[in-house]
Amino acid sequence: MERLLIRPATGADTDRIVELSLRAWAPVFASFENILGPALSRRVHPDWTTSQAAAVREAVERNATWVAEVDDGTVGGFVNVTFDDAESSGEIYMIAVDPGAQRRGIATALTDVALAEMRARGLTLAIVATGGDPGHAPARATYEKAGFTACPQVWYSRLLT
């Protein structure tokens, strides 16, 4: 990677953030479909692109967000963070790196910025949640590299027919 600049997101970044998040999370939803099967996957995530796009837009509007500008100044990734002063905690709520910019340390850099902001605010606990499926393996590796401790959880579902 020649250039990486992490900066606060602006309203002008929102469309790019949404677009890259959908590309980045496509393997996750493919992994879900592989695990759940097509019928259950369609029931649980009937139109994941529409719901995810809306969720990302809402998160960017409500929470602190930083973007990673790469090479030619395009947004190659983002991190969205919530802060809970009452609990002295922060949560990496969303993070994604465009597939074309992955494997270049961007997720690690974005995670580092989120953790630095939590420390700067005097928070004492950092939280992040992710899936245990193969599609989330890169995310788990990033969080483990950053020193997070995993606490496995299992989510069950079934169609009632």
Inside any domain, residue 24: yes
Q: How far is CA 92 from the centre of its chain?
A: 7
pTM here is 0.91
- Domain, as residue range, for 14: 4-145
Question: Residue range 88-106: average pLDDT?
Answer: 94
CATH number where 103 lies: 3.40.630.30
Domain count, the chain: 1
Per-residue pLDDT for 86 more than 90?
yes
Inside any domain, residue 60: yes
pLDDT given for residue 69 in this prediction = 95
Give Cβ neighbours of residue 48 (< 8 Å, ≥ 6 apart): 25, 29
Inside any domain, residue 157: no
Inside any domain, residue 158: no
Nearest Cα residue to 96 out of 134, 53, 125: 53
Inside any domain, residue 91: yes
Inside any domain, residue 117: yes
Query: What are 6-63's pLDDT values in tens digits?
Result: 999 999 999 999 999 999 999 999 999 999 999 999 999 999 999 999 999 999 999 9
3-state secondary structure 3-36: CEEEEECCHHHHHHHHHHHHHHHHHHHHHHHHHH
Query: What are 99-117's pLDDT values in tens digits?
Result: 999 889 999 999 999 999 9
Percentage of residues of the chain with pLDDT beyond 70: 99
Inside any domain, residue 112: yes
Question: Residue range 131-160: average pLDDT?
Answer: 90
Inside any domain, residue 59: yes
pLDDT given for residue 2 in this prediction = 66
Kindly report which listed range (13-27, 79-93, 128-142) carries the lowest average pLDDT score.
128-142
